Structure 1
Amino acid sequence: MSTRSEVDDVQDVQLERIEQLIRNTPMAIDLTEPTMERYKNSNGSSGARHDKRQKITAIIASAAAFFIIVISGSFVSPTMAASIKHGLASIFNLSDDLGLKSAEDNGLVTHLEAKDTHQGLTLKVPLVTYDGSRVAIGLEQEQGQEQEQQQAAFGGTDSEDGIINRISDIDLFIDGKSIQTFAPDSSNSIGILQYPGKDNNSSIMEFSDLHNQGGKAFPSNFNLGLNIKVSGIEEPFRIHIPVERNTGSFLVLQPSVSKHYKNFDFTIDKIELSPLTTTITTHLRLLGDAEFDVPTRSMGIDVFDEKGNIFNLLSGNGWNATGGTELVTEYRFNPFPSTPQKIIIKPYFMRFKQDKTSFQLDEDGYPIVDYIPELEVTLLCPPESR
């Protein structure tokens, strides 16, 4: 197996792999660590910028049946300053998510005036985008004069007053039904992710259906209800917004390509390309009497185009039944700028320390991974799709 630190073109691109790979129980929303770091990375050919990364160690929980991964890179267009629109739209434009930026730039975002107010605090949903699977929502808080005066007396707004830290719970409803009614079952729930927006007063919330894991696909158009609880405010904020699938191009490839490695088979089931997201669904099947261990369950993939550009992982979810022999994982990457000639998928193992509870890091604090050449797959995109 080749070591990532030996590959010069890749070493400085992918940042922190996994904020929390495996959890003991399925979860609909993680609000214990609502400000998961959206680490930035660089890709010279993509005009990206690079910030000094903090060293991280991910602790792995045992006996897990479900995990959510949240990782992001920063692909920033050289023309970003010229394209940023005034006001609320910049929540997506200033995001480090290339898909959201592209959606805003290409008119694939619905702008709204939805809001609710309690005790001098107003929560607004100014914009939303949806590609048929992934829903991303901009959220802002606007404080009344009394709250602003109180904050000024204590030195102004800080991160603890930010919208992410103030939200204590979120429930979402599609046409009046909980989004969990679209999940495969109670052991594989739909996760709600929230990460920083353009400042402390804004955030981006997103969620995706699990149609590739046995769940129901979201409708093309629906009414989304948000019930949001904020610390210190008794009554929940209730906001309803219309959500429509954007009209951008959408390409689905079903290669069903399988590779074998040691005691398991690895299959690329489906690749879905949209202006918002590149979604790749994989299927890992153990053979014989093999059992899942932490390294196998936390196996990941890197995605490249024919020019060697790497595309950053945004989020993903995987699930296997307790004691089961199959793991289905859905990875969501930044979108391709245009349909590539080739899509190269390179699976890898995280390199763990001896105790199997934390990653080995290189001298710069990067988690070390080992590519698995036996599982590498190169897919040709149909000429008519380009």
Structure 2
Amino acid sequence: MTLETLIRQAKPNYIRGDAEQAEQIILENVRRLTAGQADVERGSEVFSSKQGIKRLTRGKSWRSALIIAACVSVIGLGAVASGFVVPTMASALSHLPIVGGLFSQKGDAGLKAASSQGLVSEAAASDTHKGVTFSISDVVYDGARISMVLTRTSEDGKNEPLDKWTKAYFHERSASRSESETNAGLLQFWADQQKLNVGWSLASDIGYHHSAILTIEPDPVNLESFHLPDEFQLAIQIRDSKLKQDFKLDLPVKKIAAEKVIVLSESDIKSTTQFDMTVKRIELTPITLRADIALTAKEGSEGETIKEIGDSLQYEIWNERGEMAQAMGYRGSEIGDSDYVRSLMFEPFTEIPQSIIIKPYTWDGKNKVYLPELETVLFVK
């Protein structure tokens, strides 16, 4: 079914007077804005602030947000402004890009669930300098991560893909003698004026689009930095090296309802001849399954360093029904000479599990080698 057909079917029958004229204006704007555009299957690579977190997703390229503006600017005088949206209109709009958020179009399973369950909050933070605007829309926080939609637009309408912005920063940084000359980061974050020591990633075809999903994640070395209140004011500083300009955005963030979050505490210690392993924390939300795992080298152990061991270990998470959670990414780091921590993100199970099974493994060539002595089971109470 074409976009034009969807809009025709979605026209609310209670818009009186100029309904037919409104429909024609909408369709004309859609034709103009989508002229020459095609949906193309592309691989979407995650851009991360730190090494060790990288993944690919698939999805169709989404059309300009101006399509929605074209529709809503006309419909808003009737259906939207009145506070009612008939089912056919809601269905049609849900097929259009941006309505329901980039989360529903390009997000992982957790973000799509957040969108469908109404857990996403609207945000309207923006800052403009020299004809360029950075803005944040749609934000969700579940205690394990904060995700939002970041958009960069320009008044000349070119709206370059976000990867040109990121590449310009790293070019500026490589040409500088110190990181301080570039204000210490492409993106920096504060919660209630307290600097956050966190990692972040940008996902959703940044090589092709000027909007992306920005996710803030805990740094495994500084997990306490992510112990945030249920409500806080998030400040974001964005460096635009093309303009030699910093942008500052502020937005309120509220955690999803506490009854939707399950936290499992520290597990028993599992051991090998070289190290001990402890699952420090498992957090289950409708959006994310997060696991924090710690390794400690045994005194006098020989062979690989704890960093080499930690970097080589991988993990699967299963439930009691034999379903494996889909991994989204991880961050890992050594602490001193004997400790290593890793924070892993998985897509949530469709139903709350009765138990969580962590299965560590390594690779032997192309084959997985599971380590049953490290397998850990935590029961969901």
**TM-score bucket (shorter structure):** 0.5 to 0.7
SS at match of 1:110: coil
Native 8 Å contact 1:346 1:375 kept in 2: yes
Aligned residues: 285
Distance 1:88 1:142 in 2: 18
2:131 partner letter: G
Residues 167, 226 of structure 1: alpha-carbon distance in 2 compared, 3 angstrom cutoff: farther
**Aligned residue number for residue 241 of structure 2:** 231
Matches within 5 A, 1:277-296: 277-290=288-301, 292=305, 295-296=308-309
Greater length-normalized contact order (CA 8 Å, ≥ 6 residues apart): 1
Q: CA offsets, 1:322-372, max 9 Å, x none? A: 32x222222121112221133221101244xxxxxxxx5x4xxxxx53221
2:163 is equivalent to residue 174 of structure 1: no
From 217, 221, 233, give the equivalent of 1:208.
Answer: 217
C-alpha displacement of 1:257: 2.4
Distance 1:213 1:158 in 2: 32
Unaligned regions of 5+ residues in structure 1, if any? 1-34, 40-66, 152-156, 181-189, 352-359, 363-367
**Aligned residue number for residue 177 of structure 2:** none
Distance 1:98 1:259 in 2: 31
Distance 1:192 1:110 in 2: 20
**Aligned residue number for residue 324 of structure 2:** 310
1:240 partner letter: D
From 313, 317, 321, give the equivalent of 2:335.
Answer: 321
Unaligned regions of 5+ residues in structure 2, if any? 1-42, 60-90, 171-185
**Aligned residue number for residue 336 of structure 1:** 349
C-alpha displacement of 1:376: 1.8
Tell me which structure has the larger Cα radius of gyration.
Answer: 2
Residues 131, 120 of structure 1: alpha-carbon distance in 2 compared, 3 angstrom cutoff: same
SS at match of 1:215: helix
Q: CA offsets, 1:235-271, max 9 Å, x none? A: 2111111111112601111251222222222222221
2:52 is equivalent to residue 69 of structure 1: yes
2:53 partner letter: V
Matches within 5 A, 1:363-382: 368-382=367-381
2:204 partner letter: P
**Aligned residue number for residue 230 of structure 2:** 220
Residues 109, 96 of structure 1: alpha-carbon distance in 2 compared, 3 angstrom cutoff: closer
Distance 1:288 1:90 in 2: 51
Native 8 Å contact 1:91 1:138 kept in 2: yes
SS at match of 1:311: coil
Distance 1:221 1:200 in 2: 31
Distance 1:166 1:104 in 2: 32
**Aligned residue number for residue 112 of structure 1:** 123
Distance 1:284 1:99 in 2: 28
Question: Which has a greater percent of helix?
Answer: 2
Q: Percent identity?
A: 25
1:322 partner letter: G
1:376 partner letter: E
Taking structure 1 as the reference length, the TM-score comes to 0.65
Distance 1:249 1:108 in 2: 11
C-alpha displacement of 1:74: 5.0
